[in-house]
Amino acid sequence: MENKEKFQEMLTDILEVARVQSNQLGMNEIKSLFGDMNLSEAQYEHIFAYLAAHHIQIKGYVSNITEYAEAVQKQELEEEEAMKESATDETSKKQSSKDSAYLQMYLEDLEAISAAEEGEEDCLADRIRRGDARAKNRLIEINLRRVVDIALTYENQGITLEDLIQEGNVGLMSALEVLNELTQKGQEKEFIEAYIKNFMELSIEEQRESNSFESNILQRISYIRNASKELEEELLREPTLHELAQYTKLREEEVIDILNMSADGVKTEHSHGSKERGHSH
């Protein structure tokens, strides 16, 4: 479980690295980032394909589309989508309850902050440009309620309202850090709002990418599981790894990697001995 969480975190991190580098990465650079995880070449192939699917240019990588890619998209798609929707509905109910309590307390805290007076924001922006820290804190306070209002417009897009507000607050502070880059006065409000929205939208997109990756893995596992079941019914025994690889038109290493991602595994009989079945000598 820890390795899975670490792997997901590293995928998110590497997407951030790619964005900083104009959506370009080298194969060796990617391998060095995942170096301590001892991944196989087949697993790196999955990572490269995942990054390429998200418009990351990988220097030296040529996409290898295997025949199972199309089958993966078809196998159990409706079933997986139904399960996903059911899980999402349940999660949304829990998140909604949590968000309601959080939002209520948060809004109560915001009530204690005095509203901005006419022209105050423009004045504060000028003072911030001169390095006034107190003015910066005051402008943050004024915009906290604005962050909540913007977050509400992005609700129900796969990320909790609490997280949206947190991302928006980070965007708010980031905007004030580069306020000096805004040469045209009187546009501070629009500038800050654009930063807030951008941070929220990036967070939503990252969540979608993560969900897409997990869905793709589930589809691959389902594809192998169904293939194993069909072979077992045909052969009246558990298929060997070699037979399963031939049936799915995958390399044995790829089959093993996909099986290792499965929580319950898929039984196979290896002609040379299988770690799934163990040795009885």
Whether residue 228 lies inside any domain: the answer is no
Whether residue 193 lies inside any domain: the answer is yes
Helix (H, G, I), strand (E, B) or coil at 24: strand
Q: DSSP per residue over 85-113, as a string?
A: HHHHHHHHHHHHHHHHHHHHHHHHHHHTS
Q: Are residues 202 and 115 in the same domain?
A: yes
Final residue in a domain of this structure, among 177, 192, 209:
209
For residues 159 and 204, is the Cβ–Cβ distance under 8 A? yes
Q: What is the mean pLDDT of the chain?
A: 75
d(CA 177, CA 140): 11
Q: Are residues 140 and 194 in the same domain?
A: yes
Burial of 189 (C-beta count, 10 Å sphere; 0-12/13-18/19+): middle
Final residue in a domain of this structure, among 209, 227, 247:
209
Q: Are residues 93 and 160 in the same domain?
A: yes
Q: Are residues 127 and 84 in the same domain?
A: yes
Q: Are residues 97 and 138 in the same domain?
A: yes
Task: List the helix and strand counts (H, then E) for the chain.
Answer: 11, 2
Q: Are residues 157 and 87 in the same domain?
A: yes
Q: Where are the alpha helices (DSSP H) in 112-187?
A: 120-129, 133-153, 161-177
Q: What H or E segment, with its residue span, contains residue 260?
A: helix 252-261
Q: Specify the pTM.
A: 0.48
Please list the pLDDT of the chain residue by residue as tens digits (281 residues).
Answer: 456 667 777 877 888 888 778 778 888 888 888 877 777 776 777 777 667 666 677 776 654 434 434 444 454 455 556 666 655 555 555 555 555 676 777 778 888 888 888 888 888 988 888 888 888 889 989 899 899 999 999 988 888 888 888 899 999 988 888 887 776 777 888 889 999 999 999 988 888 877 777 777 777 788 888 888 888 888 888 999 888 888 888 888 888 888 777 655 555 555 334 444 344 44
Q: Which residues contact 206 (CB under 8 A, 6 or more apart)?
A: 12, 15
Amino acid at 177: E
Final residue in a domain of this structure, among 180, 209, 238:
209
The structure tokens listed for 97 are 């309850």
Q: Are residues 102 and 202 in the same domain?
A: yes
For residues 167 and 199, is the Cβ–Cβ distance under 8 A? yes
Q: Based on the structure, what is the number of domains in the chain?
A: 2
Question: Please, what sign has the CA dihedral across residues 99, 105, 106, 111?
Answer: positive
**What are the Cα distances from residue 37, in Å, to 10, 30, 40?**
10, 12, 9
Instruction: Provide the terminal-to-terminal Cα distance of the chain, rounded to the nearest Å.
Output: 31
For residues 75 and 42, is the Cβ–Cβ distance under 8 A? no
The structure tokens listed for 240 are 């060997």
d(CA 195, CA 203): 12
pLDDT tens-digit map of 261-277? 765 555 555 533 444 43
Helix (H, G, I), strand (E, B) or coil at 275: coil
Q: How far is CA 112 from the centre of its chain?
A: 36
Range of the domain at 169: 77-209
